[in-house]
Amino acid sequence: MAGGSAELVEHTVARLQGKTALVTGAASGIGLAIAARFATEGAQVVFTDITGDACTRACHEHGGALALELDVALDEAWGDAIPQVMDRFGKLDVLVNNAGIALLGDVETLSVADFDRTMAVDLRGVFLGCKYAVQAMKPARQGSIINMSSISGIRAQAELVAYNAAKAGVALMTKSVALHCGQQGYGIRCNSIHPGLIRTPILDKLLAQSEDPDALLAGFIATHPIGHMGEPADVAALAVYLASDEARFVTGSAMSVDGGAAM
Ligand SMILES: NC(=O)c1ccc[n+]([C@@H]2O[C@H](COP(=O)([O-])OP(=O)(O)OC[C@H]3O[C@@H](n4cnc5c(N)ncnc54)[C@H](O)[C@@H]3O)[C@@H](O)[C@H]2O)c1
């Protein structure tokens, strides 16, 4: 019995106590679940999103420490946000590059403008986040960068040509950043998360672009051996692990949380 209660105590200790974390796209879906879970795990969480009002509301409702409007595709927006975090908290321990968009279209139907927009948010946004986070974290010789890729960064779908390209890019860029930080001795870890189908507003927006949303959704779910979609909390649980010191030996990894979809 004594062993059992010791175990219980261990599991109730906040796993991110004392850490400062910034989450992009924190007003909705997976980003919101990660930011809220980080706060319950004791982190000082900076909620950021392109939608300022929704982000401020989410921050207040879920125990955040600071809300900032941040369009991840803009270099100057990062240049504005990161100094505010450093001024306020003196450090950045964790960055979650979560913000993303998914625009439906195959190689014939997707417009060049939609391709460019996908790249700007889903790939350039992650690059900028990594660039600014490495600068902020390296003096402390520690930090964890978590990049949100997707099952779509591993397996192709005809109707997601730009999203596939961006998310696959995130996977290898993550390894490049991890390698660089290792070579430089910065102590900064960088890993990617690859969720399968998760029930969030991005999915509704994607389905709304289809002529047959029911068939598209059924087709997506059919590729998940577990037989159903996941929830944002499933992804947040993995993000807590990667953000925490429990993952101190984990860098350059591509971790799936996908009901077996990558098999
Ligand atoms: N839902 C899924 O099935 C699924 C699966 C795999 C990966 N993902 C990835 O997870 C991440 C989160 O997606 P979600 O499902 O929670 O979607 P969501 O639409 O619920 O949330 C995305 C958030 O990102 C914000 N955002 C969009 N463009 C932005 C920009 N330029 N700058 C800052 N914020 C911006 C939105 O305002 C929104 O709050 C994305 O990177 C997505 O590609 C989602």
Query: Which CATH number fits the domain that encloses residue 186?
Result: 3.40.50.720
How many domains, the chain? Answer: 1
25 C-beta closer than 6 A to ligand 1: yes
For residue 74, the ligand 1 atom closest to its alpha carbon is: 31
132 as an active site residue: the answer is: no
Query: In this structure, which residue's CA is closest to atom 2 in ligand 1?
Result: 198
Give the CA-trace dihedral at 238, 244, 246, 248, to 10 degrees: 110
DSSP result, 120-186 = IIIIIHHHHHHHHHHHHHGGGT-EEEEEE--GGGTS--TTBHHHHHHHHHHHHHHHHHHHHHHHHT-
**What atom of ligand 1 comes closest to residue 71's alpha carbon?**
32
Ligand 1 pocket test target in 22, 23, 30, 192 with most atoms within 8 Å of CB: 30
* 73 assigned to some structural domain: yes
Angle between helices 75-89 and 125-137 (to 10 degrees): 30
Tell me which of 28, 72, 121 to substitute to probe ligand 1's pocket, judged by most ligand atoms within 8 Å of the beta carbon: 28
The alpha carbon of 87 is separated from its chain's Cα centroid by a whole number of angstroms, namely: 24
> pLDDT by residue (tens digit) across 69-78?
999 999 999 9
| 164 within a domain of the structure (yes/no) | yes
Range of the domain at 124: 16-197+232-257
Give a yes or no: residue 21 inside a domain. yes
Point out the residues of the chain with pLDDT beneath 70.
1-12
Instruction: Take residue 150 and report the two structure tokens written for it.
Output: 């997707």
153 lines ligand 1 (CB under 6 A): no
- Tens of pLDDT, residue by residue over 176-222, are 999 999 999 999 999 999 999 999 998 998 899 999 999 999 999 99
In a domain, 219, yes or no: no
Residue 207 is assigned to a structural domain of this protein: no
Q: Is any atom of ligand 1 closer than 6 Å to the C-beta of 24?
A: yes
CA distance 87 to 232: 31
- The reply to whether 224 falls in a domain is no
Burial class (CB in 10 A: 0-12, 13-18, 19+), 227: exposed
| 8 in any annotated domain | no
Strands 66-69 and 94-97, bridge-based pairing: unpaired
CA angle 171, 130, 231 (to 5 degrees): 55
Question: Within a domain: residue 2?
Answer: no
Report pLDDT for 92: 98
Pick the residue whose CA is nearest to atom 32 on ligand 1: 71
Partners of 253 in the β-ladder: none
What is the CA(27)–ligand 1 centre distance, in A?
9
CA distance 114 to 97: 20
Catalytic-role residue among 132, 163, 186, 241? 163
